[in-house]
Chain A
Amino acid sequence: MVGGQGVSSSKPFRSFWLAGRHRPLYGLMVAIASVLTVFLLRYALSDVFDDGALFLFFTPTILLAAMFGGIGPGLAAVGLSLIMVMVLEQLVLSREIGLLDFIAFLSVGIAIAWLGEAFLRASIASTTSAEALEEREAQLRTILETAFDAAVVINAEGVIISFNPAAERQFGYRLDEVLGRNVKCLMPEPYHSDHDHYLRRFLETGERRIIGTDRIVVGQKKDGSTFPMKLAVGETKTESWHYFTGFIRDLTEREESAARLEQAHGELARLSRLNEMGEMASMLAHELNQPLAATINYVQGCRILLRDIDNPNAERARAAMDEASRQALRAGDIIRHLREYVVRGGTQKFPESMHTLIEGAAGLALLGSRDQGVRTEFRYMASHDTVIADRVQIQQVLINLMRNALDAMRDTTRRELIVTTRNDGDMRNIVVDVADTGTGIAPETIERLFQPFVTTKSNGIGIGLSISRRIIGIHSGTISVFNNQDGGATFRFILPTLQQMGDSDG
């Protein structure tokens, strides 16, 4: 990019000057034009100068041509000048020019042309490097300004001469508050007092403590609080400058946010598991109750049959059956308690943004889905997305639907999961569609899909959809499913928005 025309287009003269390809041509034109001009000038002034100052007039043309076009045009100017001198000799001179004069002009001309070339080179070099420097500085500034990490530049005295926006954020100082101050102000004790000493020793001995390596040190914010940070220091040294640049990463900032994210995920995962467990327990209670009740009935029927038989064995069998039915009843109690334990004391409904709920659920349900090659898309077309809902429960529904969609797309080539929201019924409802490009649902199972323990998966339990339907029911909504025309299934649930809730309350 150095010397490129695009870069210097704002400086037309320089671009012309540096237009390397055309430079000899321009030089030649300069040579011809200047030699002719000088020739005419000298011809016109021939009365004034008489026979003197003939060669002298032409020397500037050589320098000019060489400066524009390098040595070639310079030499061309020498040649042209010689011809013109000879023409002048015929036209105006009263005497002949000696051979020695010609040789002298020729050698001086060549020297001047060479000088011009040298000047041109130097000038090109200095211009391009000035431009490159400017450009590089602009780049550097952009990098520093947009960098995630803080960057602080100090000079050899430890005085801050640059402080990027990330540094402003991390340390809480504004740029103008720290420029010109000693970098010590960013360090707590004991670093604060030791820093001058470190810097001086490094400058004297070159002994490296921190330069070139990563270190975890402690920084101090404007408000006096301290934080662990990762520090990498680079050194820039020229004849006249000696800089140190520190790149700083606030470890708490990243680790805290990562931890917080994990925690939020963990909490949601835990709650949704708990909710699922509650449903499991309640469904198990129901399903297990049937065989348990039957067992007890049989045992008690047997005991009644044995009631009037007077036989020691019958007596013992009766006692055993008493015990058997007591144990079965105890199992029933355990299930009852388990259910009561996990069923929460009512749902906790608050105004929630459906779009936020969707994002939270997606974060959990779609973990790693990109690796499976699933493309996800969220189309939020609902302008009113506030619902009165139990956050965990609605997210549980969304997680179930998204996970099912991923499961259904495991073996298909096209893998797209599209979640759409829109309002209907005059903003009184929000319609949420979870559509996939999976296997779709067989007509014979579509009816029973929402019943518990209906599953087509080897590792499925088949309660996801029944829980989802129950939760949506609790929220005065409906849930349905249909197969898409171009393959896959869409699960749709509709919930009343805050709008509608507000109406019915008022």
Chain B
Amino acid sequence: MGDWTVHIVDDDAAVRDSLAFMLAAAGFAVRTYPNGSEFLSVARSLRHSCLLTDLRMPDMSGVELIRRLKAADAALPAIVITGHGDVPMAVEAMKVGASDFIEKPFDDAVLLEAIARATGERNAPAGDGGIADDIVARLDTLTPREVEVFEAVVGGLPNKTIAHALDISPRTVEVHRANVMTKMQARNLPELVRLALAAGYDITSPVRNPINR
């Protein structure tokens, strides 16, 4: 992994520097940028690089940054970092091309694995061509209720809101959610989102949820 450079974009200096410190300790070459524009200006010339960006930033959001990189033909593997309750935004980021998202604060192992997957040093569990059929097969095993829950979960809704929208108890949502994860063979939410995207699922928030940003 030594020949990969991780580019960190975050408006919060403490988060940016601490990430740089940790990734440098783990053996990566690291560059930091306080905002998206600065990274955009250097992005085209980069080789063997991976982007780690915050989602919420004042001038340009992480989603916007990834979109512009794509437009500038400078797309690179990207991981987005989110705060609490930002899952819908993270899903949005994955739709425009981010390979993963991580909820802050996180364990270093989670981040390192995400980077490894993004840089292709480790096989992604899903996403390649032939696998789509396999995912559709997994989707077929879900009950109608589980499909509803699946759609809501990858739409980024919290359990409480799903329960409210489907008029079932939060406890029942948890049970359905666990079943979905098992049947879809996903270990965590980003993986489930990836599977949904790989299956060609058009993730639009199925329940218009006003309280979540």
A and B found bound together:
yes
Contact A340 B105, CB 8 Å, known A293-B18, A301-B24? no
Residues of A within 8 A of B210 (CB): 346-347, 474
Among A296, A329, A346, contact of B164 (Cβ-Cβ < 8 Å): A346
Nearest CB of A to B111, in Å? 9
B38-63 vs A, CB cutoff 8 Å, 1 = contact: the mask equals 00000000000000000000000000
Q: Is the Cβ of A340 less than 8 Å from the Cβ of B158?
A: yes
A455 at the interface (CB under 8 A from B): no
Closest chain B residue to A348, Cβ basis: B164
Residues of B within 8 A of A332 (CB): 104-105
Q: Is the Cβ of B104 less than 8 Å from the Cβ of A345?
A: no
**Could you list some 18 contacts between A and B, CB below 8 A?**
A282-B84, A286-B83, A290-B14, A292-B104, A293-B18, A293-B106, A294-B18, A298-B22, A300-B22, A300-B107, A301-B23, A301-B24, A302-B25, A340-B159, A344-B160, A346-B209, A347-B210, A474-B210
Residues of A within 8 A of B170 (CB): 345
Residues of A within 8 A of B12 (CB): 290, 294
B178 at the interface (CB under 8 A from A): no
Interface centre among B17, B21, B22 (most CB of A within 10 A): B22
Residues of B within 8 A of A336 (CB): 84
Count of interface residues, chain A, beta-carbon cutoff 8 Å: 33
Q: Is the Cβ of A297 less than 8 Å from the Cβ of B211?
A: no
Closest chain A residue to B11, Cβ basis: A290
Nearest CB of A to B176, in Å? 16
A interface SS class? helix
Q: Is the Cβ of A295 less than 8 Å from the Cβ of B18?
A: yes
Q: Is the Cβ of B158 less than 8 Å from the Cβ of A301?
A: no
Residues of A within 8 A of B26 (CB): 301, 304
Q: Is the Cβ of B105 less than 8 Å from the Cβ of A296?
A: yes
Give CA–CA (A293, B108) in the complex, Å.
10
Q: Is the Cβ of A301 less than 8 Å from the Cβ of B83?
A: no
Residues of A within 8 A of B23 (CB): 301
B32 at the interface (CB under 8 A from A): no
Contact A291 B161, CB 8 Å, known A286-B84, A304-B25, A339-B84? no
A343 at the interface (CB under 8 A from B): yes
Residues of A within 8 A of B72 (CB): none
Q: Is the Cβ of B163 less than 8 Å from the Cβ of A285?
A: no
Residues of B within 8 A of A293 (CB): 15, 18, 104-106
Contact A297 B164, CB 8 Å, known A347-B210, A474-B210? no
Residues of B within 8 A of A346 (CB): 161, 164-165, 209-211
B85 at the interface (CB under 8 A from A): yes
B19 at the interface (CB under 8 A from A): yes
Closest chain B residue to A341, Cβ basis: B160
Closest chain B residue to A282, Cβ basis: B85
Among B15, B22, B159, contact of A301 (Cβ-Cβ < 8 Å): B22
